[in-house]
């Protein structure tokens, strides 16, 4: 049985947040939280339901965006 969509989103964001926080990659907490929510939400709308996949892709998207902003 799968968890309800709001819990799935919340848990995936929390996993991504915890990882980024431990690795010291969060500079602006508000911007990061908005980005992770938007990223995970878009993937859920495209029917992704694997919590770890959502978290990992959100982390990758955050890192890619951060690299683009630095370049």
The rounded Cα 64 to chain-centroid distance in angstroms is: 12
* pLDDT the model gives residue 1: 55
Say if residue 35 is exposed, middle or buried (CB neighbours under 10 Å; 0-12, 13-18, 19+).
middle
For 29-60, the pLDDT digits (tens) are 999 999 999 999 999 999 999 999 999 999 99
* pLDDT the model gives residue 35: 98
Q: Structural domain boundaries of the chain?
A: 5-70
Q: What is the dihedral of CA 39, 43, 46, 52, to 10 degrees?
A: 180
* pLDDT the model gives residue 68: 83
User: Which pTM does this prediction carry?
Assistant: 0.92
């Amino acid at each position: 049985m799968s968890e309800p969509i709001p819990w799935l989103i919340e848990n995936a964001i929390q996993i991504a947040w915890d990882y980024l926080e431990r690795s010291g990659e969060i500079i602006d907490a508000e911007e990061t939280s908005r980005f992770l929510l938007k990223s995970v939400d878009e993937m859920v709308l495209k029917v992704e339901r694997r919590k770890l996949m959502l978290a990992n892709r959100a982390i990758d998207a955050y890192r890619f965006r951060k690299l683009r902003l630095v370049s």
